[in-house]
A and B are shown apart, each in its own frame.
Chain A
Amino acid sequence: QLQLQESGPGLVKPSETLSLTCTVSGGSISSTIYYWGWIRQPPGKGLEWVGSIYYNGNTYYNASLKSRVTISVDTSKNQFSLKLSSVTAADTAIYYCARLGYLEGATSWGQGALVTVSS
């Protein structure tokens, strides 16, 4: 059974870079069918797609975050990562990693990682 697990600091200072890693187990990140992505949810609010990556490194980002987001993949470790630079309090959210398919939707989700931006 496919499992995803987010890891990374839970507290980031304003203007610094948020970094999270998603470790995939029970399946290969080198799938040619699915993408791997990050979706975030500010406390008490709705879901927002951050960006996605294909196993070959092709990336797709939310236009509103594009200048600050970098998603990368490490197929040798079956992991993909998120970096969000110049964070502000508005970036405080639960960050979910997920397996994404255009025809299938977000089929599997991690449990989520709460990242708080505060000094």
Chain B
Amino acid sequence: QSVLTQPPSVSGAPGQRVTISCTGSSSNIGAAYDVHWYQQLPGTAPKLLIYGNTNRPSGVPDRFSASKSGTSASLAITGLQAEDEADYYCQSYDTSLSGSWVFGGGTKLTVL
């Protein structure tokens, strides 16, 4: 059972918008810790997609955006493309675990 909760799967057609939620608690996201998002393409290492709740590293398309509010965070992908089909993970930190890094269980995005 992951500390951060994500839906196991989401799907959308090319060109559509999808969102992936990440729900935590008052000891992690709600404690004002930053949320980061990672994209893992099949058979590859995860890649940083969003850092510091809303920031995109250089090279990440602006089709990817994220937000955070209260004890939850959300990743949005607009203009869905076939190449976006991947697993997505949120990550934060937890005070009840001495500041340990915690991950969501991951969400499989399927492009229909």
Contacts and interface: CB of A to CB of B under 8 A. Distances in A.
Nearest to B102: A49
A104 B51 contact: yes
B97 A46 contact: no
Contacts of B44: 111
Nearest to A105: B36
A111 B45 contact: yes
Interface stretch (B10-18, B20-28, B73-81, B103-111): B103-111
Contacts of B105: 46
Contact of B46 (A47, A52, A62): A47
A110 B45 CA distance: 7
A103 B47 contact: no
B106 A105 contact: no
Interface string A75-105: 0000000000000000000001000101111
B81 to A, nearest CB: 23
Contacts of B98: 60, 63
B53 to A, nearest CB: 10
B38 A106 contact: yes
A46 B36 contact: no
A68 B98 CA distance: 17
Contacts of A37: 101
Given A105-B91, A106-B38, 18 more contacts: A46-B103, A46-B104, A47-B46, A47-B106, A52-B101, A60-B98, A60-B99, A96-B45, A102-B34, A103-B52, A104-B52, A105-B34, A105-B52, A106-B48, A107-B57, A109-B45, A111-B45, A112-B45
22 contacts: A46-B103, A46-B106, A47-B38, A47-B46, A47-B91, A49-B103, A60-B98, A60-B100, A62-B100, A63-B98, A63-B100, A96-B45, A105-B38, A105-B51, A105-B52, A106-B48, A106-B91, A107-B51, A107-B57, A109-B46, A109-B47, A112-B45
